[in-house]
Amino acid sequence: SKDMNVLELACGSGQLSFNLSKYTKSWIATDFSKQMIFEARKHGEYENLVFEIADATSLIYTDEKFDCVVIANALHIMPEPEKAMKEIYRV
């Protein structure tokens, strides 16, 4: 909703980011890969959408910063998904 601050992990080229960020207060889309963030940024950024490089198992964000965390088609390929889940719950 328009009052939500959302964190997206493993955003890739931003397919979800561009479509869904329009409906939120803020959307931070992250990926471990510098190349994927570079690709996403090629399509631009919105006022409430930013792309950042981040490791889902060691996030720099403060506790309970986000109203929602989105991760699609990535958790199952991470080497340590349990660490990512702990970070998701923390932020």
**Mean pLDDT value across residues 16-20:** 95
The answer, yes or no, to whether residue 16 has pLDDT greater than 90, is: yes
CA-CA distance, 74 to 10, in Å (whole number)? 6
pLDDT over 70, % of the chain: 100
What was the pLDDT predicted at 47?
86
Distance, CA of 68 to CA of 71 (rounded, Å): 10
Q: What is the pLDDT of residue 45?
A: 75
Are 40 and 29 in contact by the 8 Å Cβ rule? The answer is: yes
Q: Tally the C-alpha atoms within 13 A of residue 7's C-alpha that lie toward its C-beta.
A: 23
pTM of the model: 0.93
Write down the pLDDT at residue 18.
95
Average pLDDT over residues 19-36: 96
Backbone angles phi, psi at 35, to 5 degrees: -65, -40
C-alpha–C-alpha distance, residues 35 and 64, integer Å: 28
Mean pLDDT score, 49-62 = 96
